[in-house]
Amino acid sequence: MRYLTFALAKGRLAKKSLEMFEKIGITCEEMKDEKTRKLIFVNEELKLKFFLAKAGDVPTYVEYGAADIGVVGKDTILEEGRKLYEVMDLGFGKCKMCVCGPESAKELLKHHDELIRVATKYPRIAKDYFYNKKHQTVEIIKLNGSVELAPIVNLSEVIVDIVETGSTLRENGLGVLEEICPLSARMVVNQVSMKMENERINKLLSDLKTVI
Ligand code: PRP
């Protein structure tokens, strides 16, 4: 039997992913050690390998088959646009992709005559929303984090970002202006692995269904 390899998104989703696997009897003790610098973890008994990767890289590993399976947020799946199968909504990491900004920016979103600036970590999602859904021409400014700063320091009128509890927005005098789509953690599978390892992957999916 060959190894099935899992790529898990580092950070918020990783811990929840491991908890979910534990519930169906898939454990990986050495991965829980937060001090470890090891990158890949093996469960010899079940012939499984796990590694943690930057969220944005998970779809890449899965598309190329370096990982058979990935656990990553829907935001990253949409933004990366990789060829893979999204097979399951894992139900955790729930949040929303939203257009946010100060209350005063609400008007700007209604009238399409003024070119507004949109700062975001998700240029593809923002472009799709403004161009294809709203038919509004905007200037998209790519940032890498702390996107809520942009309207405060006048880099942009609005942002497109993830809202979970809403406290980052509130504490910075911003709010949700429009909702783009709901998000959560998803399981993704390499297209060839889905065929070659169909039995093992389907068993995994049906086991997961019992705990989700
Ligand atoms: C995310 C997101 C928001 C915040 C939303 O940022 O970009 O800033 O969490 O959460 P809240 O609604 O519960 O306040 P993250 O902490 O991942 O870091 P980043 O700002 O560097 O992207």
* Backbone φ and ψ of 160, nearest 5°: -115, 115
* Residue 92: predicted pLDDT: 97
Tens digits of residue pLDDT in 182-210: 999 999 999 999 999 999 999 999 999 99
What is the distance between the alpha carbons of residues 209 and 28, in angstroms, rounded to a whole number? Answer: 20
* Residue 36: predicted pLDDT: 86
pLDDT at 31 over 90: no
* Residue 66: predicted pLDDT: 98
CA of 93 to the centre of ligand 1 (A): 12
Pocket of ligand 1 (CB under 6 A): 121, 145-148, 161-168
Beta carbons within 8 Å of 191's beta carbon, 6+ residues apart: 83, 84, 85
The position carrying tokens 């099935």 is 4
In this predicted model, which residue has the larger pLDDT, 12 or 61? Answer: 61
What is the distance between the alpha carbons of residues 207 and 212, in angstroms, rounded to a whole number? Answer: 9
CA of 162 to the centre of ligand 1 (A): 6
Instruction: Look over the chain and give the mean of its residue pLDDT values, rounded to a whole number.
Output: 96
The tokens for 34 are: 């937060």
Return the residue whose CA atom lies nearest to atom 10 of ligand 1: 164
pLDDT at 122 over 90: yes
Q: DSSP string of 143-161?
A: -SS-TTHHHHTTS-SEEEE
pLDDT at 87 over 90: yes
Q: Are 29 and 50 in contact (CB under 8 A)?
A: no
* Backbone φ and ψ of 208, nearest 5°: -65, -40
Determine the average pLDDT of the residues in 69-80: 98
**pLDDT range class, residue 113, cuts 50, 70, 90:** confident
Return the residue whose CA atom lies nearest to atom 22 of ligand 1: 145
pLDDT > 90: percent of the chain: 89
Tens digits of residue pLDDT in 9-25: 998 899 999 999 999 99
Asked whether the CA dihedral 143, 146, 151, 155 is positive or negative, the reply is negative
pLDDT at 112 over 90: no
The pTM for the full model equals 0.95
What is the distance between the alpha carbons of residues 86 and 188, in angstroms, rounded to a whole number? Answer: 4
Return the residue whose CA atom lies nearest to atom 5 of ligand 1: 163
Asked whether the CA dihedral 125, 120, 141, 110 is positive or negative, the reply is positive
Ligand 1: nearest atom to the Cα of 121: 22
Q: Residue 118 in 3-state DSSP?
A: strand
* Residue 128: predicted pLDDT: 98
